[in-house]
Structure 1
């Protein structure tokens, strides 16, 4: 052990230790500056502004500055196809040459969605569902029905559209709604040529009543007399349930 401590105090040991320290420092300097050179520590370029450009212009700019790129696409109904709407990294970010930039562009082809079930939904519910599926509301048509502002039928391109059918996003959908008056109004039937008993039966079938009865000229047999005019007429708009229909009869 004494010989070991005596060796530590010798000139040889000191020279060996100094040489080892110099070698160690030199090793770390080589590693440090070598990595800086390998990674081009002091070399960086600014990411250009690409958002808002068409993809062909953006690609030309990237390639001229030595960037790589990767594309993703989304569909937006009112956006111009081929437009760059997102980029990563952001503009003016310092990056290495050959860095890959990620771009999101507007695609030309609309993706398809499974049409939702809108029948028996209220108009407000149906409009909200169309919006959430990326569809547009077209015409709204009202037909007689007790359900007011409730969807009774759905049409796409003039044809009936069933739930679950795939259609392109952005499609225009027409709705058929109830007017809320279906149970209170009916169409007046045409009574011309009917006898009084036949007219009563026809009116009873649509919940109307027989009103004033007038005979035109001499009537020999009231049972065989037929109706020649009526008020209201079948050409009139729909009338309320229970409305009396006045008739005129003749044997001739």
Structure 2
């Protein structure tokens, strides 16, 4: 033990210790600056804000800065196609040269979905179902039926829809609903002698529908053609029909 303590006091030990410390310091110094050079410490770019730009504009900005990109396409309702919806990394993030920026871009075309079964569902239920399938509620109209606010018919673009029919996601679906008054009866209006437009006004007031239209003789003036027959028509034994009942008419230019 005494010899070891004596050795620690020698000049040789001090020189060896100094050399070892210097070597470690030099190695740390080299490693530190090599790492700074390798990682380009203090050098890089701020990621530009790309959300809301068109895909072409976003790519132009990235290429100008020397950044790479990868694209993922998604469909979002009410979003114009070809627009950047999201980016990773976020804007103003400090990155190195040649970093890959991940873009989420809206698709040009909507994917197709199968129309769900919403018949005889309430309006609230049917709306929740179609929205779950990526569809939207369009116009609603009513017709005479005992069930109130229950879907009786569904259509897209004026054409009736059936369960499982394929339509574009985001489509607007029109509903025909029951008015809850299907069992109520109204008086049959007298339409003979009226023009078609006058008859339509009368039928709407009576909550009835216009049925089939037929013609008698040569029609030379459709605007002034008048109704010469109707079905059903008022008799002593039949004076009322259910709301929504269609009324067929025959038009003629003969008074």
Instruction: Tell me if TM exceeds 0.5.
Output: yes
Distance across 2 between alignment mates of 1:121 and 1:92: 50
Q: Which runs of 4+ in 1 moved over 6 A?
A: 233-237
Tell me the number of residue pairs that the alignment of Structure 1 and Structure 2 aligns. 200
Shift of 1:235: 11
Query: CA distance change for structure 1 residues 230 and 128 in 2, over 3 Å: closer, same or farther?
Result: closer
> Partner residue of 2:66?
66
Distance across 2 between alignment mates of 1:52 and 1:78: 13
Is the contact between residue 71 and residue 105 of structure 2 (CA under 8 Å) also seen in structure 1? Answer: yes
> Partner residue of 2:9?
9
Distance across 1 between alignment mates of 2:89 and 2:147: 54
> Partner residue of 2:79?
79
Query: CA distance change for structure 1 residues 238 and 140 in 2, over 3 Å: closer, same or farther?
Result: farther
> Partner residue of 1:126?
126
> Partner residue of 2:39?
39
Task: Compute the RMSD of aligned alpha carbons.
Answer: 2.9
Distance across 2 between alignment mates of 1:22 and 1:233: 123
Shift of 1:161: 2.4
> Partner residue of 2:175?
175
Query: CA distance change for structure 1 residues 34 and 171 in 2, over 3 Å: closer, same or farther?
Result: same
Distance across 2 between alignment mates of 1:235 and 1:169: 49
Q: Which moved more, 1:135-144 or 1:36-45?
A: 135-144
3-state SS of paired residue (1:238): strand
> Partner residue of 2:241?
238
3-state SS of paired residue (1:149): strand
Query: CA distance change for structure 1 residues 57 and 161 in 2, over 3 Å: closer, same or farther?
Result: same
Is the contact between residue 187 and residue 234 of structure 1 (CA under 8 Å) also seen in structure 2? Answer: no
3-state SS of paired residue (1:41): coil
Shift of 1:128: 3.5
Q: Which moved more, 1:156-165 or 1:118-127?
A: 156-165
Query: CA distance change for structure 1 residues 237 and 54 in 2, over 3 Å: closer, same or farther?
Result: farther
Is the contact between residue 151 and residue 175 of structure 2 (CA under 8 Å) also seen in structure 1? Answer: yes
Shift of 1:95: 1.6
Based on CA coordinates, which of the two structures has the bigger radius of gyration? 1
3-state SS of paired residue (2:121): coil
Q: 1:74-129: per-residue Cα shift (whole Å, max 9, x none)? A: 22232221111222222222221112212121111112233232111112332343
> Partner residue of 2:145?
145
Shift of 1:139: 3.7
Distance across 2 between alignment mates of 1:122 and 1:109: 31
